[in-house]
Structure 1
Amino acid sequence: MTSHVDPRFGSTLRQLRRESGLSLRALGQLTHRGKSHLHELETATKAPTVETAEHLDRALNADGALVRLVSAPVDHQAEADDLLQRVAASDVSAETLTRIEQGVDDLASLYPVTAPVDLLPMVRRHLAYVTRLLDGRVTLAQQRRLVVAGGWLAVLRATVHIDLQQPGAAAAHLAAASGLASHAEHPEIQGWCLETRAWEVLTFGDYRGALELSQQAQQVAPVGSSAHIQATAQEARAWARMGVVRETRQALDRVERLTANLPVPERAEHHYRYDPAKAEAYAATTLAWAGDPGAEHVARSVLAHLDPLGDGGTRPRRAASARLDLGLALAAAGRPDEASAYAAEAVASGRVVPSNWWRAREVLRRVEQTGAPEAAELRDVYEQFGPTRTGE
């Protein structure tokens, strides 16, 4: 059994610690816990126990603020069994299928605001439901709905593994998702599999591979679908990393045309439903990578929209990425002091997932190349909050 942790736990702990004027090292001495352990709690790469939350509450005089963000242990096996007991041995009810499909949408909507380490067990649990139901007696129509749900969950799970820098697990679940999509004849899931792989290889520096995969995704996904738009945006980013400005601009123009009349989806935070605001955020990243002078203006606009109060906003992960984009654009514009400030905010936010730390390193490298005194401060923040690699 594991405890469910509110995604706000890390940011709340960090805020309480700072309000108390304590460094990670000082809080560690008070609580007899290592600095690295506290850092993992603040950045949500490790989930706290109820006991740890109570201990931190006492040390920070938080009056139970932290322990209220950690629920009692959840018996996931009992939950799974309870769900399956509702299903007759010879039939999967329409209510059960609808509940599973709603669960898929809920998880995809949690993706932008939930730490990968917290989201992963939830996705695993839902995949277990689907797998066990598929082992039972189902009609062909029921089987297809289950296979489609399993395909979406498998590609989401692969994405979370990529965020956690677990390439072996990511590859296995991308292959599973692709197989399920093929079985269900579902081209959009197939497109997302290719686009997700394109993003992964781009983070490894294989820009040509990312370009080819994103173009394949556009050929597979239905024209105008979210997967097709995302793959087009991914193509633009691959061209930008390769330094090919003309093709970068052409791909961005195609994204703009595809999203010009796109309505805001009912759940704009849904990872697999493209919303118009995402197009601007991707343009900011792409222009910053391409060294385009327009990157600063676009990145500032994105950040103002995502985080008007400076508290992370409703999409804190995207806001952190926007700060990195703005930092990179400012470094290219010869303003390393501002670049350092925005990058430091992103790094200290705890919202940069492991697969995105290379973007923070890139801003740090650009600032250090200028010889600006702010580089040392950014280096200190990076080393304090920098990544802890998660094992396979």
Structure 2
Amino acid sequence: MAREPHQIAELRRELGERLSAFRKAAGLTQGEFGRLTHRDRSSVSHIENGRAQADERFWRLADDRFGARGSLFAAFEELETARRDHAEHAKSRERRECRAKVESLGPLRTQPWAPPESRDLDRVDDELAALELARRVEASDVGDSTLTALEHTFDELAMSYCNTPPAVLLERLRTHLAYVERLLDARATLAQHRRLLVVGGWLSLLAATVHIDLEHTAAATARLRTAVALAEQVGHDEIRAWSYETEAWRMLTDGDYRRALELSRRARHAAPPGSSIAIQATAQEGRALARLGQRRETYRAIERVHELVSPRKRPDQPEHHYRYDPNKSVSYTATTLAWAGDPAAEEYAREVIARLSPSEDVGRWPRRVAAANLDLALALVAADRPDEACDATRRALLSGKVVPSNRWRAAEVIHAVEAHGLPEVTEVRELYEETRRPLTDPL
């Protein structure tokens, strides 16, 4: 059996430590907990020490038994994500090695080489099959039509980000990243190899963003490192700047505001002048300043964003995650003012909601509408209108479009409203807790 990578072993050890802490807090011995999960004391000990694995049912039961509110199961899912990614990379590497061996056998290749059938290949979707067909038609390992198809696929995935469930989008990204990895060792011109590295960098960056949405910390870190490494290989400042900005957003959601400010400024300095990331990095800097309570600098950042946006026309594909939509500046202003505790955020948040609801745009921008309701709620808290803040938070949570990494924003409003002792906040708190629970086992 191949040795487990250090990153996965460390995640397994940390998960075991969490389990041990919850068990001890519940006052149970390893033997007592083992009986609840149909395991003996020794098995529980091995799981807690990171020396043994446990299945999904075990972690759902443990999370429920200890009242962990999804934190134990989320840690298990992060471990599983890392394991799947490692397995996919290993399979891809094995296929490349097998292909190289077959091609080294000589002139029997009268037909295009095809990898052997396997369960893994049987799951490859129609998108990947189309890319592979384009590659073979080129009669070369990496052709221009294959690269163009990959680039178009990335654009489609980036446009799907705003209205596709993160877990669904992540599976598609994994498929295409595995395909890119398979092509990296193929024969190609320097120009083709560079294009492949660039699209691999973009796909890695988007995958990192989705991992952050799902709170897959280790996987997000690995994807961001890959994106930066690929960007540096080809001198792609835009991908590098987006990587810093994405990490800055994660630091904001984690509460490390000074680190978020540092990364935002690094992204701004790396960004090509006039690019979408130049605007987004400036906006992220303003958010970090707002969280740090630096109001004067926050307002200056807001002004800079509006100056950068004013000459820009709306892009043909405004839903593309990496093409700045000027209309987004209103949402940004609402969020930043709300985080600065400025009641003026209410006007901007209501403008966003009015623009997108009940028009057809609400289907294109569901997360933006949910975020606007959270911005509105925070502004209403600042205006001492907690009952209306409760209503806005309820609307955001009921939409089902508040991703895991953004739930803290709802919790922030709920905590502030609870201080007023309103009875209706109990219902909103229950709704919030419901969104944090892991999905029930379909079996």
TM-score by length of 1: 0.78
> What is the match of residue 164 of structure 1?
214
Pick aligned residue for 1:185 from 235, 246, 258: 235
**Equivalent in the alignment of 2:113:** none
Query: 1:328-380 CA deviation, whole Å, 9 max, x = no partner?
Result: 11111111111101101111211000000100100111111111222122112
Residues 184 and 193 of structure 2 are in contact (CA less than 8 Å); yes or no, is this contact kept in structure 1? yes
Give the stretch that moved more between structures: 82-91 or 116-125: 82-91
The aligned residue for residue 87 of structure 1 is 135
Give 1:82 shift: 5.7
CA distance in 2, matches of 1:148, 1:380: 45
Mapping of residues 43-192 of structure 1, within 5 Å: 75-77=122-124, 79=126, 80=128, 83-88=131-136, 90-192=140-242
Q: What's 1:271 paired with?
A: 321
Inter-CA distance 170–309: structure 2 relative to 1 (3 Å threshold): same
Which of 375, 378, 385 is residue 325 of structure 1 equivalent to?
375
The Cα of 1:181 is off from its aligned counterpart by 0.5
Letter in 2 for 1:143: H
Give the alignment partner of residue 207 of structure 1, picking from 242, 257, 268: 257
**Do the aligned residues in 2 keep the contact of 1:336 with 1:374 (CA within 8 Å)?**
no
Q: Which amino acid aligns with 2:380?
A: L
CA distance in 1, matches of 2:361, 2:144: 42
Could you list the per-position Cα deviations for residues 101-141 of structure 1 after superposition, in whole angstroms to 9, with x for gaps in the alignment? 00010000000100101100111111112111112100001
Structure 2 CA distance for partners of 1:107 and 1:310, relative to 1, 3 Å = closer
Give deviations 1:138-191, integer Å, cap 9, x for gaps: 000101111110000000000000000011000000000001011111100000
**How many angstroms apart in 1 are the aligned matches of 2:361 and 2:197?**
40
How many residues matched?
321
Unaligned residue ranges in structure 1 (runs of 5+): 1-33, 41-45, 47-73
Corresponding residue for 1:335?
A: 385
Displacement of 1:81:
5.5
Aligned residue in 1 for 2:31 = none
**Structure 1's 372 and 150: CA in aligned 2 closer, same or farther, altered over 3 A?**
same
CA distance in 2, matches of 1:118, 1:196: 20
Residue of structure 2 in register with 1:347 after alignment:
397
AA at the equivalent of 1:130: V
Q: Does the aligned pair in 2 maintain the 1:327–1:342 contact within 8 Å?
A: yes
Residue 307 (1) aligns with residue 354 (2): no
Percent identity (aligned):
53
Structure 2 residue corresponding to 1:254, chosen from 304, 323, 343:
304
Q: Closer, same or farther in 2 for the Cα pair 1:314/1:84, shift >3 Å?
A: closer
Q: Does the 8 A contact of 1:357 with 1:387 survive in 2?
A: no
Q: Distance in 2 between matches of 1:278 and 1:250?
A: 18
| Deviation at residue 387 of structure 1 after TM alignment | 5.0
Give the 3-state SS of the residue equivalent to 1:90 in structure 2. coil
Following the alignment from structure 1 to structure 2, what is the Cα–Cα distance between the partners of residues 350 and 77? 29
C-alpha distance in structure 2 between counterparts of 1:258 and 1:240, whole Å: 19
Contact 2:141–2:183 (8 Å) recurs in 1: no
CA RMSD of aligned residues (A): 2.3
Query: Per-residue displacement from partner, 1:227-264 (whole Å, max 9, x unpaired)?
Result: 11101000000000111100000011100000001111
Paired with 2:235 and 2:359, the residues of 1 have a C-alpha distance of 45
Q: 2:428 aligns with which of 357, 378, 386?
A: 378
Distance 1:205 1:272 in 2: 24
SS in 2 for 1:87: helix
SS in 2 for 1:329: helix
1:291 and 2:336 correspond? no
State which structure, 1 or 2, has the greater radius of gyration over its C-alpha atoms. Answer: 2
* Alignment match, 1:361: 411
1:312 and 1:320 in contact (8 A); partners too: no
Would the aligned equivalents of 2:374 and 2:409 in 1 still touch at CA under 8 Å?
Answer: yes
> Where does the alignment leave 5 or more consecutive residues of structure 2 unmatched?
1-60, 65-69, 71-76, 78-120
Indicate if the aligned counterparts of 1:348 and 1:385 stay in contact, CA closer than 8 A.
no
Question: Which residue of the partner structure matches residue 288 of structure 2?
Answer: 238
Q: Is the 8 A contact 2:163 2:363 kept in 1?
A: no
The question of whether the paired residues in 2 share the 8 Å contact of 1:354 and 1:387 is answered with: no
* Aligned counterparts of 1:296 and 1:183: Cα–Cα separation in 2: 45
- Secondary structure of the residue aligned to 1:341 is helix
Query: Secondary structure of 1:267's match?
Result: coil
Q: C-alpha displacement at 1:203, in angstroms?
A: 0.5
Bigger relative CO (Cα 8 Å, ≥ 6 apart): 1
